[in-house]
Structure 1
Amino acid sequence: MMTNLFSIFDPASSFSLPLNWLSTSLGLLFLPYSYWVLPNRFTVLFNLITSTLHKEFKVLLGADYKKGHTFIFITLFVFIMFNNLLGLLPYVFTSTSHLSMTLTLALPLWLSFMFFGWINHTKHMLAHLVPLGTPGALMPFMVLIETISNVIRPGTLAVRLAANMIAGHLLLVLLGNQGPNVSSSILTLLIITQILLLTLESAVAVIQSYVFAVLATLYSSEV
């Protein structure tokens, strides 16, 4: 049963080609809205979200902020959010529920921060391994703990996003499969529950993309 349950996340498709991964580019369909002569409601909302994120990420980056530094994190937020939300539509493949997708986003970002930090700010990176006020006897252990916590960061970023996407989709599928087997009165309750869960999943899709972008910003501010 579990094999059949998780088969909804299987990226295989017909014609022996993984065409469903093309769903990651569906967000490009919304770009033409930004080229209207007069801004519509979507453009106004999108500009409001990006400007708010820009102000928040600028604060998180601190004194080292320079013009344009927030663009990569805003782009990351928008890309993940579109993929999460589009995955809630029927017959749309959720690419962000796979570690192959989330690790592709997290690992290069983390590696670039690490290379930049160790090459340009070596003393700062070494000092970061031992928090201020650590007793001399505990310093080797603190270096080990800080190194491990640093290494697992891309994994935690990737697993957090994928696990949250999988959990919500599995719950929706489990409840949806019970529809043909219940009475009409319970079916009404089931539909209401599904609508509430879909609303919750929409919120989770936005929150998880925000958490991913904020953590990436915090990791970059450390180097």
Structure 2
Amino acid sequence: MMASLFSSFDPSSKMFQMNWMMMISPMIMLPMKFWMKKSRWTKMKKKLEKKISMEIMNNTKHKEMLMMSMSMFYIIMINNMMGLFPYNFTSTSHPSISISLALPMWMMLMMYGWMKFTKSMLIHLLPTGTPNMIMPMMIIIEITGNIIRPMSLSIRLTANMIAGHLMMTLLGNMNQINKIIFILPIQMGLMSFETAISIIQAYVFMTLISLYSSEIP
């Protein structure tokens, strides 16, 4: 049963993996100058971008992270929400996709920080006021915590996407007529909850990336 349950996260097209094509959907939805006149969608997106940019600039002083963090937010949010539609593949439920988003961002920050500000990065490994006896242990803990950051980012995103979709799959299998009255409201509530989770996980990913960049001088 568990094998068939988790197989729902695999792209199921036989002739061509059309479900993987959903990953290019942000490229279709993100352009701003597609229409001649401003629509409610572009106005809403402008307001959302303003709020996100204010949040990012509160977390980090690097202006370069504004575009990168905002783009990452839109890509993850759209891919998460597109997976809620029927017959669509949730790409962010696979660790190979989520870690391919987290690892390059983390490596970029680490390479830039250690190449440009080596002394400051070494100082950052030891918190201020640490007793002499536990200094080596604190350095090891800081290095370990820094190394596992891309894994924690990817696992958090993958686990949250899998958990909600598993619940929806289990409830979807209960399709008896006498149970539909009880199952349908739960499914509707779970769909709303998953929509909120899709947005929250994209926001958490963006916020953590911007916070990681704030540690670089």
TM-score between the two structures when normalised by the length of structure 2? 0.95
Is the counterpart of residue 13 in structure 1 residue 13 in structure 2? yes
Please name the residue that 2:197 is paired with: 204
Please name the residue that 1:222 is paired with: 215
RMSD, aligned α-carbons:
1.4
Please name the residue that 2:122 is paired with: 126
Q: Distance in 2 between matches of 1:178 and 1:21?
A: 28
Is the counterpart of residue 117 in structure 1 residue 113 in structure 2? yes
Alpha-carbon offset, residue 34 of structure 1:
4.2
Please name the residue that 2:80 is paired with: 84
Is the counterpart of residue 42 in structure 1 residue 35 in structure 2? no
Alpha-carbon offset, residue 188 of structure 1:
1.2
Is the counterpart of residue 165 in structure 1 residue 164 in structure 2? no
Deviations 1:47-93 (A, max 9, x none): 1111110111011113xx33x53001000000000000000000010
Alpha-carbon offset, residue 125 of structure 1:
0.8
Alpha-carbon offset, residue 18 of structure 1:
3.7
Q: Distance in 2 between matches of 1:12 and 1:203?
A: 26
Q: Distance in 2 between matches of 1:12 and 1:141?
A: 48
Alpha-carbon offset, residue 31 of structure 1:
4.0
Deviations 1:92-131 (A, max 9, x none): 1000000000000000110111111111111111111110
Q: Distance in 2 between matches of 1:156 and 1:2?
A: 25
Alpha-carbon offset, residue 20 of structure 1:
2.1
Aligned with residue 171 of structure 2, among 172, 175, 186? 175
Is the counterpart of residue 100 in structure 1 residue 99 in structure 2? no
Check whether the contact 1:161–1:208 (CA below 8 A) recurs between aligned residues.
Answer: yes
Number of equivalenced pairs? 216
Corresponding residue SS for 1:217: helix
Q: Distance in 1 between matches of 2:186 and 2:47?
A: 31
Is the counterpart of residue 4 in structure 1 residue 4 in structure 2? yes
Deviations 1:128-150 (A, max 9, x none): 11100001110000001001100
- AA of the residue aligned to 1:166: I
Counterparts of 1:14-33 in structure 2, within 5 Å, are: 14-15=14-15, 17-31=16-30
Alpha-carbon offset, residue 27 of structure 1:
2.6
Please name the residue that 1:145 is paired with: 141
Check whether the contact 1:60–1:217 (CA below 8 A) recurs between aligned residues.
Answer: yes
Corresponding residue SS for 1:81: helix
Q: Distance in 1 between matches of 2:125 and 2:210?
A: 19
- AA of the residue aligned to 2:194: E
Alpha-carbon offset, residue 33 of structure 1:
6.3
Check whether the contact 1:33–1:42 (CA below 8 A) recurs between aligned residues.
Answer: no
Gaps of 5+ in 2: none
Q: Distance in 1 between matches of 2:31 and 2:50?
A: 19
Q: Distance in 2 between matches of 1:12 and 1:125?
A: 46
Q: Distance in 2 between matches of 1:12 and 1:187?
A: 27
